[in-house]
């Protein structure tokens, strides 16, 4: 599919500015350097006045220290609601700093405490390490609720792309371990199906955005070469879960020019079929990540407003 034929002028202009091969993962170290350079060239975010950002080191399942960054609004509420956020990057790219602006904005606009976890990346650390890092951070967030001034009953989890997939897997893991109970899932174009079998999974080949080749490489990095095999755990690839009952309510958002379109729609339908209250939003003319890359567009403004309103309703209801 030529995604450029279905975009408006604003999205086309921004897409044209992205480097060719930005998400060509055939050489992962080169791709990481390219992403790092792009992020370094971006202006530092202006954080809201009064916002406090603190880094915490949390002991992980294997003794590794997991960094959890906490964003507190200038005038936090007593027993504040909270969001536990997981960054994207296909399980192989990025770090906690890439979503500083987003986490700060949520903390400020919704007057909630936000935590963001810096999980270890694949292929150096394949599943279950990234998931266990995310779980360790979430367990710490719940345990530290009193010290942080947050309400344990109103902690949502969320993420975008790989972060959305990790959040979906984390919801399943939290349900099955029974130690922590998130109240809501914010799943932004989540990466949840390793099998690469849906029609949309093969339609996106443009290397400026998340594409089929990158997706195959990333899943095999995360699953240590086992993507598509019969025994992939549901916590790694939530689309494989046959029982979605007992999960927290969710919102799933995705653009119709995203290779995750079909798997995300199917997952939202499966959540609904399992009795999980779920909103599904599909945005025509949006590519993977465009709500951030083209944040000033009317489409992205509507998308981001939809997510903020759903999160606010879940946390303040």
Nearest residue to 241 (alpha-carbon basis) of 231, 233, 229: 233
Contact 204, 7 (CB under 8 A): no
Catalytic residue at 161? yes
Report in angstroms the alpha-carbon separations of 282 from 21, 162, 181, 232.
26, 18, 28, 28
Q: Which of 80, 161, 239, 300 is catalytic?
A: 161
The DSSP line for 78-111 is TTEEEEEEE--STTTS--GGGGHHHHHHHHHHHT
Q: Which of 258, 290, 297, 300 is catalytic?
A: 258
Catalytic residue at 11? no
Contact residues for 278 (Cβ-Cβ < 8 A; gap 6+): 249, 250, 251, 252, 268, 271, 272
Q: What is the DSSP letter of 122?
A: T
Q: Which of 288, 290, 297, 300 is catalytic?
A: 288
**Pairwise CA distance, residues 156 & 177, whole Å:** 17
Catalytic residue at 87? no
- Tell me the two tokens of residue 224: 């240590």
Coil vs helix vs strand at 215:
helix
- Angle at Cα 315 formed by Cα 261 and Cα 54, nearest 5°? 95
- Tell me the two tokens of residue 147: 């010290």
Contact 12, 4 (CB under 8 A): yes
Give the dihedral of Cα atoms 53, 41, 32, 203; nearest 10 deg: 100
Phi first, then psi, for residue 294 (nearest 5°) are -120, 50
- Catalytic (active-site) positions: 161, 258, 288
């Amino acid at each position: 599919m030529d995604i450029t034929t279905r975009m408006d002028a604003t999205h086309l202009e921004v897409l044209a500015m992205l480097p060719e091969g930005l998400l060509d993962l055939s050489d992962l170290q080169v791709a990481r350097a390219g992403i790092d350079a792009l992020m370094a060239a971006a202006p530092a975010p202006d954080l809201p006045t009064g916002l406090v950002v603190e880094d915490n080191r949390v002991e992980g399942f294997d003794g590794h220290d997991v960094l959890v960054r906490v964003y507190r609004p200038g005038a936090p509420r007593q027993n504040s609601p909270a969001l536990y956020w997981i960054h994207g990057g296909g399980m192989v790219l990025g770090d906690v700093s890439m979503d500083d602006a987003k986490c700060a904005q949520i903390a400020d606009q919704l007057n909630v405490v936000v935590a963001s976890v810096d999980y270890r990346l694949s292929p150096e650390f394949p599943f279950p390490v990234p998931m266990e890092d995310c779980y360790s951070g979430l367990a710490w967030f719940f345990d530290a609720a009193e010290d942080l001034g947050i309400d344990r009953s109103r902690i949502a989890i969320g993420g975008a792309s790989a972060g959305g997939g990790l959040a979906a897997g984390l919801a399943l893991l939290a349900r099955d371990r029974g130690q922590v109970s998130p109240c809501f899932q914010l799943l932004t174009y989540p990466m949840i199906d390793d099998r690469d079998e849906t029609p949309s999974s093969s339609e996106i080949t443009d290397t400026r955005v998340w594409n089929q080749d990158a997706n195959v490489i990333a899943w095999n990095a995360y699953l240590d070469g086992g993507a598509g095999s019969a025994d992939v755990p549901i916590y790694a690839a939530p689309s494989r879960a046959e029982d979605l009952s007992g999960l927290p309510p969710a919102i799933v958002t995705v653009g119709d020019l995203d290779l995750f379109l079909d798997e995300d729609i199917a997952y939202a339908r499966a959540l609904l079929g399992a009795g999980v209250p779920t909103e599904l939003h599909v945005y025509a003319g949006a590519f993977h990540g465009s709500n951030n890359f083209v944040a000033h567009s009317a489409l992205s403004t509507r998308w981001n407003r939809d997510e903020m309103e759903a999160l606010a309703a879940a946390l303040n209801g």
